[in-house]
Chains A and B, each alone.
Chain A
Amino acid sequence: MNERGIFGKQSVNNLPQRHRMALIWRLIFQVSTIVGIITLTALLYNILNSTFGYLIIETKINPASLNAGDVPLEDLTKDALIRILEENITLGAFRTLQRDLPFEQRSRDDVFDLVVERVLKPDVKVTFSLVDSLFKRNEIEETLASSYPNGTLVFRTWLTPRFLITPQASVPLFAGVRTAVIGSLWTIAITILVAFPLGVGAAIYLEEYATDNSINRIIQTNINNLAGVPSIIYGMLGLAIFVRALEPITSGSLFGLVADPSTANGRTIFSAGLTLALLVLPLIIINGQEAIRAVPNSLRQAAYGLGATKWQTVWHHVLPAALPGILTGTILAISRALGETAPLVVVGASTLITLDPSGPFSKFTTLPIQIYQWTARPQDDFRNIAAAAIIVLLILLLTLNASAILLRNRFSRRLV
């Protein structure tokens, strides 16, 4: 090995030192990646841990005390179940159920669920995490025997198809995310319908038409800054403009579409969608500008050289070439809007709605709002349904993103 480097006397051979430096940096980068992976795994572990597990349930009424003879509750016929229901709840409540959906049209399982919910009134005493349920079965049974002699031990999966199609309820055991999912989808649809055309339009104007003068530079700087404004500020803006100032429009009363606009008072899906559209607009504009700027100038020159107008050049060549990049920005915007909670709290998301939103002028709640409210409750079982709702939110997010990515890939393939 030569002690001297390539420059002879003026240098030393520092190659081992340089390799060592490279190794250290590589290790630092690897550690960063590993920390990221660990964080993600911990998140998933935490969520899954709460989504499944044992419960100790005590019912208000012992099933055996119901006048059902020797037959267990699970094996009773539909008629017998209806009779039990009729005997054990008030007449008013029974008539309300009848009015919602006549008992002749309800399935046996539906009636059975009603009996459990209205008559037995199960009460969750303790919940156990998935890990505890798997590895500490004995301790759980001891707790059951010593503290809750009347209780039953049930293994419960909180994330079930039923969870997806049931509307909100005040009891976690019977609550679902249906209203929240529909609310989220409505809100996102309005957000994208408003923010995508506006954002892309502004990006085209700023990149292709705007001259480099001080006014446009101020606009540009402001857009860049708006992308970093905390989302709660957008919530205040939405409250002031959409909910209060534009109430006749956002409550739907101007169009006469809603029977009683005063129930929502402007705190509607429409207001929420518009607020989130404002929030993601800078994101879409900036990404759109980046994408348009990345289109090679030679493409524009080729079009102009054939006698194309500016609009023909932009529409036929610049936009198709920039579309994959623009869609990437839109994917980011969807993800951001779907997960936003703070601005919607300010705009006035409802805490508990059991009816599906019927259109843009309905009261609303969204998945993140729902999760936030459930996690804020002190009872254990609310944490379980919050975890299940988080999984629903993640799946919704991944589905929306995957469809946007598929769309993008189709466009980029068509170009080559």
Chain B
Amino acid sequence: MNFKVALRSASNIVSQDITSQSVGKYAIEVRNLSIYYGNFQAVRDVSLFIPRQKVTAIIGPSGCGKSTMIRAFNRMNDLIPSAFAEGEILFMGQNIYNPLVDPVEVRRHIGMVFQKPNPFPKSIYENIAWGARINGFKGSKSDMDDLVEKSLRGAALWDEVKDKLNSPALALSGGQQQRLCIARTIAVEPEVILMDEPASALDPIATLKIEELMQQLKENYTIVIVTHNMQQAARASDFTAMMMLTEDLKTGTVIEYGRTIDIFTHPKDKRTEDYVTGRFG
């Protein structure tokens, strides 16, 4: 009993540390980040400042460490036993790799949407309610109903599913499933939403809907998106980070970072220019 109380108060301290910091210009500050899988270095010495309430895209060829990096932003890499990170990732002024920080708390504040839609094999309603419930939601049934509706509206899915909230989520189409995953993420009210190629398994119309949704979401959330699709990055993002394997070490790093319009029209780096104009490889 005492043990439980002690644990909870410890995580409260950490969560206050995370959220009570003065609101700066940047949601996430990455400083000299390197990521390793055992002896293999996947990402080297990345420094990146991700602005609040904007869409930041991370682009680059396959295998350059884009997914590895975005998964470091909410400590999803912890699930891979051999992975570890060096450097700092500051979220609300607090290094999320500080040993005192609980990764569970980090993931509550920095949500994630995955490449393949992965709704839980439960009803649509339960998909959204579950995240709130496990994070200590104590409202009544009608409060939960409101939260589900708000989240589904936030993900532009309410009108399509409002009559079948209790039907299984896996019966939805791929695009709807992905928007359900977004709704599920915003139901726990994170500050940042990470999207790891959210539209790569979807058709163009579903992709368009996700992109439109991102424009709505950035009014309230900071969005980081990994994408293979350069048009998507150009259309949907405000800032773009270009990642590439360095020629000597075969590890990924950010070679250029700036406003999306600058990256696509006046790239400073020759490799970026080759890549965004399709001359690469």
Hey, which bits of chain A sit against chain B, CB under 8 A? 211-212, 296, 298-309, 312, 316-317, 320-321, 415-416
CA distance A211 to B108 in the complex (A): 25
Q: Cβ of B79 < 8 Å from any Cβ of A? A: yes
Instruction: Report yes or no: A306 in contact with B170, Cβ–Cβ below 8 A.
Output: no
Q: Cβ of B273 < 8 Å from any Cβ of A? A: no
Within 8 Å CB of B120, what residues of A?
299, 302-303, 317
Instruction: Report yes or no: A302 in contact with B181, Cβ–Cβ below 8 A.
Output: yes
CB nearest neighbor in B for A212: B81
Other-chain residue from A301, A308, A317, A320 in contact with B114 (beta carbon distance below 8 A): A301
CA distance A212 to B118 in the complex (A): 27
Other-chain residue from A304, A305, A309, A321 in contact with B121 (beta carbon distance below 8 A): A321
CB nearest neighbor in B for A304: B107
CA distance A269 to B118 in the complex (A): 48
Instruction: Report yes or no: B185 in contact with A316, Cβ–Cβ below 8 A.
Output: no
Instruction: Report yes or no: A301 in contact with B119, Cβ–Cβ below 8 A.
Output: no
Can you list 29 A-B pairs with a CB-CB distance of less than 8 A?
A212-B81, A298-B114, A298-B116, A298-B118, A299-B118, A301-B112, A301-B118, A302-B114, A302-B118, A302-B119, A302-B120, A302-B184, A304-B76, A305-B113, A306-B131, A306-B184, A306-B188, A307-B104, A307-B105, A307-B107, A307-B135, A308-B104, A308-B131, A309-B134, A316-B130, A316-B134, A415-B121, A416-B168, A416-B170
CA distance A255 to B174 in the complex (A): 60
Instruction: Report yes or no: B79 in contact with A301, Cβ–Cβ below 8 A.
Output: yes
Q: Cβ of B260 < 8 Å from any Cβ of A? A: no
Q: Cβ of B74 < 8 Å from any Cβ of A? A: yes
In this complex, the member of A296, A298, A302, A416 whose beta carbon has the largest number of chain B beta carbons within 10 angstroms is A302
CA distance A309 to B133 in the complex (A): 12
Interface of A is mostly: helix
20 new A-B contacts, CB < 8 A, other than A302-B119, A306-B130, A416-B168, are A212-B81, A298-B116, A299-B118, A300-B79, A301-B112, A302-B118, A302-B120, A304-B107, A305-B74, A305-B76, A306-B107, A306-B111, A307-B105, A307-B131, A309-B104, A316-B130, A316-B134, A320-B121, A415-B121, A415-B122
CA distance A415 to B126 in the complex (A): 12
Least Cβ–Cβ distance between A149 and chain B, in angstroms: 75
Instruction: Report yes or no: A308 in contact with B134, Cβ–Cβ below 8 A.
Output: yes
CB nearest neighbor in B for A309: B104
Instruction: Report yes or no: B184 in contact with A301, Cβ–Cβ below 8 A.
Output: no
Within 8 Å CB of A304, what residues of B?
76, 79, 107
3 smallest CB-CB distances across A and B, nearest first, come from A307-B108, A306-B131, A298-B118
Within 8 Å CB of B76, what residues of A?
301, 304-305
Instruction: Report yes or no: A305 in contact with B104, Cβ–Cβ below 8 A.
Output: no
Least Cβ–Cβ distance between A391 and chain B, in angstroms: 41
Within 8 Å CB of B112, what residues of A?
301, 305
CA distance A416 to B170 in the complex (A): 7
Least Cβ–Cβ distance between B195 and chain A, in angstroms: 11
CA distance A321 to B79 in the complex (A): 20
Instruction: Report yes or no: B119 in contact with A305, Cβ–Cβ below 8 A.
Output: no
Least Cβ–Cβ distance between B204 and chain A, in angstroms: 23
Within 8 Å CB of A302, what residues of B?
114, 118-120, 181, 184
Instruction: Report yes or no: B134 in contact with A211, Cβ–Cβ below 8 A.
Output: no
Within 8 Å CB of B111, what residues of A?
305-306
Least Cβ–Cβ distance between B138 and chain A, in angstroms: 16
Within 8 Å CB of B134, what residues of A?
306-309, 312, 316
Least Cβ–Cβ distance between A49 and chain B, in angstroms: 50
Least Cβ–Cβ distance between B72 and chain A, in angstroms: 14
CA distance A177 to B227 in the complex (A): 70
CB nearest neighbor in A for B82: A212
Q: Encode B134-155 as 1/0 by CB contact (under 8 A) with A.
A: 1100000000000000000000
Least Cβ–Cβ distance between A342 and chain B, in angstroms: 42
Within 8 Å CB of B105, what residues of A?
307
Within 8 Å CB of A212, what residues of B?
81
Within 8 Å CB of B188, what residues of A?
306-307
Within 8 Å CB of A211, what residues of B?
81
Instruction: Report yes or no: B185 in contact with A416, Cβ–Cβ below 8 A.
Output: no
CA distance A300 to B121 in the complex (A): 12
